[in-house]
Amino acid sequence: MPSDMTPYLRATPVIEAEDPMVTAFAKKAIRDASDAQTLAVRLYYAVRDEIRYDPYSIDLSVDGLRAGTTLESGRGWCVAKAILLAACCRAMRIPARLGFADVRNHLSTERMRALMKTDVFYWHGYTSIRIHDVWVKATPAFNIELCRRFSIKPLEFDGQNDSLYHSFDLNGNRHMEYLNQRGEFADAPIDAIRETFIREYMPGDNWQKGDFDREVKAETSGNPKA
């Protein structure tokens, strides 16, 4: 492994690549896979579908963003799930880093839109994984059940092509627009994320809480695919 990959393999306070719980989750997900591409793909789907997407679970503290915290709760927002996937990859000796972008997200509930007063999600997180000497983007945020309820095409990942949000849902409605790329990092830039969130979303360092699953079910009850 080239020495310049070292920052993307080491454990950090949030990317807990050496945590026993993370290692156990990763080993269970990969099963009998051995090559890096297959390993990364299986880790992606484990994080995507076994951890529920929950935008109300935002906690911009080190403890709140730890990979182990996300595993323990079984749910997380996009940054938390990206951190968990990065930790799993590093645990399996696959270089991984965290990528961020500002996006216009059309997948949210009425209550969330009212609380945020915007459909722009700043510092949307994804994982960038080094496979066969190429960095490939993987976005494990939306679990398969959520996609079905909102009639959006699930994000697949093959370990060769970037896995980024689709512009439109299955009904032709706007789904996601990438507005600004913030770059890729060896660790979570917590202070920068917190500063933006306080400025754009909240008067203090507190995120609104709610029951996202219940809101989704209420708003998609008429969807035959839900």
- Let me know: does 173 contact 106? Beta carbons within 8 Å: yes
d(CA 80, CA 64) in angstroms, rounded, equals 8
What is the pTM (predicted TM-score) of this model? 0.88
Domains of the chain: 3-219 (3.10.620.30)
What would the mean pLDDT of 24-35 be, rounded to a whole number? 93
pLDDT in tens, 117-159: 788 899 999 999 999 999 999 999 989 888 888 777 889 999 9
Q: What is the pLDDT of residue 20?
A: 97
End-to-end CA distance of the chain: 45
Q: What is the pLDDT of residue 188?
A: 98
Find the angle CA(143)-CA(40)-CA(85) to the nearest 5 degrees: 55
pLDDT in tens, 44-87: 999 999 999 998 888 999 999 999 999 999 999 999 999 999 99
- Let me know: does 85 contact 51? Beta carbons within 8 Å: no
Q: What is the pLDDT of residue 226?
A: 44
